[in-house]
Amino acid sequence: MVNEVVYRTFYALLQESLDHFENNTSIQSSAAIIQCLRKIDDNFTHIEPIAKDFIGKYASNYDVVPGLQANGYRSLLALLETLLLHIIQLLRTIYTDRGNTFFRANSYIEKLSSYSDVLHQLRAILYYAQILMGLTPNGNLFVNEDHSEPLMHDCELMAKSCFYNNVHGFQ
């Protein structure tokens, strides 16, 4: 269910970018780019085990109809994969343009920061999805009322605006 090729490509490009900007301080904005890349790396380090080892393994238990691969947990994994593909595309563009005299560091910093914010909120969403899966055994999609109130309260406090940024196209 989890696309290993996307994960490996993401990590390889992220690490390559970190190595480049850490070893090339001649670019004026290297520190800001490194900071954004590290935030992305930190968030994904926490997301990957939840996505692969928990939600990725058990999401099929929550399909409404056997054989029809569709439920909210699968949608979260699809959203994560889409976000990673967007970040991969940006990292490839940075890789291509970073030697250019007119390298638009500030534009890339803004985009990386925006992706970092979305990844951070997606990390929280996946955390709550993991909790929800623990409260709804045997493929039941609905949690009982005793557990739903605190969970919904926490979810309502999450920042939603990062998902509506023009960089992402999730609007």
Per residue in 47-59, pLDDT (tens digit) is: 999 988 888 788 8
Query: Which position has the higher pLDDT, 171 or 47?
Result: 47
How large a percentage of the chain has pLDDT more than 70? 87
- What Å distances lie between residue 123 and 65, 80, 81, 82, CA to CA? 28, 9, 13, 14
Tell me whether residue 94 is in a domain: yes
The model carries a pTM of 0.86
Tell me whether residue 169 is in a domain: no
**Which pLDDT band, with edges at 50, 70 and 90, does 40 fall under?**
very high
Tell me whether residue 171 is in a domain: no
Residue pair 18/39 in contact by the 8 Å Cβ criterion: no
Tell me whether residue 103 is in a domain: yes
Tell me whether residue 170 is in a domain: no
Tell me whether residue 66 is in a domain: yes
How many structural domains are present in the chain? 1
Residue 171 has pLDDT above 60, yes or no: no
Q: Which domain holds residue 138?
A: 4-164
Contacts of 160 (CB under 8 A, 6+ apart): 121
Tell me whether residue 110 is in a domain: yes
Tell me whether residue 77 is in a domain: yes
Residue type, 115: Y
